[in-house]
Structures are given as structure tokens and as C-alpha cells.
Amino acid sequence: MTAVTAKGKPVKKGFLYNMSHYKEYYIMLIPGILFFLVFCYGPMYGLVIAFQNYYPLKGISGSPFVGLKHFKALFNDPFFVSVLKNTLIISFYKLLICFPAPIILSLILNEIKCMPFKKFAQSISYLPHFVSWVVVSGIIIEFLSPSRGPINILLQNLGFESIFFVAEPKCFRGVLVLSDLWKSIGWGSIVYLAAVTAVDPTLYEAAEMDGAGRIKKIIHVTLPALAPIITVMLIMESGKILNDSFEQVYNFLTPSTYSVGDVISTFVYRMGIQKMQYSFTTAVDLFKNTISFILVILTNYVARKTNDYALW
């Protein structure tokens, strides 16, 4: 369709040529781009609040500029390193466990042939996504209670000591990760299921002819078909490494577990005890988002070099 150079890359043409040649495509793009321009880039100037002592009434033009004051306040805090460490470690554990889980679930559901059960399991699996952490944490804390929780009652009957999971620093991150797994596995599997069901059945037939059993089919047909979507999801997940689920951690956190569980957002929340910290939270968000964006660019670059699938 387009002329190519000796290396096979498309020849770069002028702007007007591009516009006219691809006219319909660009017209199709107009509503979407307009949306992003107006509603996402429109308010983007608000980022400057991170560098001000913002007073809502005075607005951006009326509020004093303070440069990197908020960032310095964050980085110089004695607890920043510990809080950052916790955020990274917890995100890493979640990446390790909660990222593959929906993929595996989609494979499992795909293998289930009994349609009623499959539909039932599917529908049930994503219900936890809709329940807020306030409710979920209440249930989980009760479930893990050292005196009343089933797990500890079982432990006691077996002669062991009961464990106060939620308050024990050694177990706390595990509680966070596993509860997140419970909550997100179903909803996260939806996108993989869509990809799995779109796999061409003739590929399975071909694999069958080559003597592949069920497991080999999964490895050689289903997984490769999922590779593009997994790559995309992985790139985006890696960008979230500094994000933490405030709602989740806040509802589980106690001073006994600050050392392992206090994350950036809960710490910043406590910093807001005394002041209206609008600009400070904006600064923290900007910091987190910048790191996320850089990570996404990096992982996207790596993805592009190693295979064909990437974000752009």
C-alpha cells in the first residue's frame, strides 16, 4: 500500500499527503482525539498545583509558587524510604501472584466443558470486584481472627498456636496479596477469556493431529495466542508498581504492621491529618505518575525489542 525503502520501513511523506491519503482514518479519529484533548489535556494544567501552595479560592494564578517544596518534604521524610520500600515490595508480590492468576483462571475456565458450570463459575468469579474494600476487609479480619476465625480454630484444634494474621508483620503482606487475589482474579480474567475464546479452533485440531495432549495444546496453542494481550497487560501493570490500593491497605493497616504495610498513600493520608494538603497530594500523585509513565515507556521498549507486541 505504501512505498517502502530498501530496509522495508515506510517512506515518510509530507503532512498534507498523509492527511489526504489517510483521510477517512483521520476523520474516524476525530471524536476520540477530541475527547482526550478536551477532557484529559484540558485540565492538565492542574499539574502545576504540585509546585504551588494552592488555595482553592485563589486559584492557580493567585496561589504562591513554591517549586519543589512538596517533593522535598516527601523525600526527606525519615519514613519515606521505608514507605517506598513497602509499596514496591507489595506491588512486586502482587505482580508475581495476582498477575498470572487471572490468566491461569481463564485457561482453567476454558478447559471446562460443562457449560452450565462454566457459566456459573464465570459469573460468580467477578462478583468480588464490585464489593468495596471496607466490606471485604471486615469479612477477612473476622475470618482471620485469632479467637473466632475458622482458620485459627482449626489450628488450635490441631494443637498449634493461633496466629493473628492481620497484626503479624510476617503475615501482613501475604494477607494483602491473597485478599487482592481473591478480589481481582475473576474480573481480571475477563479480558483473557475474550482472547482465549477467539483462538481459531483449527489450530487446536492441527495440534491434535500432531499428537498433542491437553497440556501441550495449552502451552503451544492457547498461550501463544494470549501472548499479545499478556504483553500489553504486563506493560501496563509494571507501570503501576508505585501505585498501591489505598482503600485496601488503609482498611487492614494497624500500627503493629506499619513497618511492613505502610505504603505511600496511607502515609500521605496521615500527613493530611493537620492540614488541607491539596497541593501536597497533587505533588505525590505527580511523583507516582511520572515514575509509572517512565516504567511503562521502558517496558514497552523492552517488549518491542523482544517481540512484536507492544503498546506502540
Looking at residues 109 to 138 of the shown chain, list those that interact with other proteins (rule: CB under 8 A): 109, 111-114, 117, 119-128, 130-131, 134-136, 138
How many Cβ atoms sit within 10 Å of the Cβ of residue 274?
A: 7
Report the amino acid identity of residue 219. I
Residues 20-39 that bind other proteins (CB under 8 A): 22, 24-26, 28-29, 31-33, 35-36, 38-39
| Residue 186, all three cell numbers | 475473576
Place of cell 509499596: 87
Counted residue by residue, the chain has a size of: 312
Which of 52, 241, 267, 284 binds other proteins (CB under 8 A)? It is 267
Residues 81-100 that bind other proteins (CB under 8 A): none
Kindly state the helix (H) or strand (E) to which residue 33 belongs, with its residue range.
Answer: helix 23-35
| Residue 215, all three cell numbers | 497440556
Which of 99, 204, 246, 287 binds other proteins (CB under 8 A)? It is 204
Contact call for residues 121 and 110 (beta carbons, < 8 A)? no
Label residue 188 exposed, middle or buried (CB < 10 Å: 0-12, 13-18, 19+). Answer: buried
Alpha-carbon gap, residue 200 to 203, rounded angstroms:
6
Please give the size of the binding site for other proteins, defined by CB under 8 A. Answer: 126
**151 sits near other proteins (criterion: CB under 8 A):** no
**16 sits near other proteins (criterion: CB under 8 A):** no
| Residue 35, all three cell numbers | 475527547
Minimum distance from residue 304 beta carbon to other proteins (Å): 10
Nearer to other proteins, 6 or 130 (CB): 130
Rounded CA Rg of the chain = 25
Residues 221-260 that bind other proteins (CB under 8 A): 228-229, 232, 236, 239, 254-256, 258-259
Kindly write out the interface string for residues 165-194 of this chain, putting x where it contacts other proteins by CB under 8 A and - elsewhere: -xx--------------x--xx---xx-xx
**142 sits near other proteins (criterion: CB under 8 A):** yes
User: Which of 188, 183, 182, 197 has its CA nearest to residue 102?
Assistant: 188
Minimum distance from residue 276 beta carbon to other proteins (Å): 5
Nearer to other proteins, 214 or 305 (CB): 214
Minimum distance from residue 92 beta carbon to other proteins (Å): 19
Nearer to other proteins, 31 or 159 (CB): 31
Nearer to other proteins, 7 or 130 (CB): 130
Minimum distance from residue 253 beta carbon to other proteins (Å): 9
Residues 50-79 that bind other proteins (CB under 8 A): 55-60, 62, 73, 77-79
Beta-bridge partners for 4: 10
Q: Is 243 left (phi over 0), alpha (psi -120 to 50) or beta?
A: beta
Nearer to other proteins, 128 or 180 (CB): 128
Alpha-carbon gap, residue 87 to 248, rounded angstroms:
13
Minimum distance from residue 93 beta carbon to other proteins (Å): 19
User: Which of 287, 244, 290, 283 has its CA nearest to residue 264?
Assistant: 244
Alpha-carbon gap, residue 253 to 262, rounded angstroms:
7
Minimum distance from residue 285 beta carbon to other proteins (Å): 8
Minimum distance from residue 126 beta carbon to other proteins (Å): 7
Minimum distance from residue 144 beta carbon to other proteins (Å): 9
Minimum distance from residue 123 beta carbon to other proteins (Å): 5
Contact call for residues 276 and 49 (beta carbons, < 8 A)? no
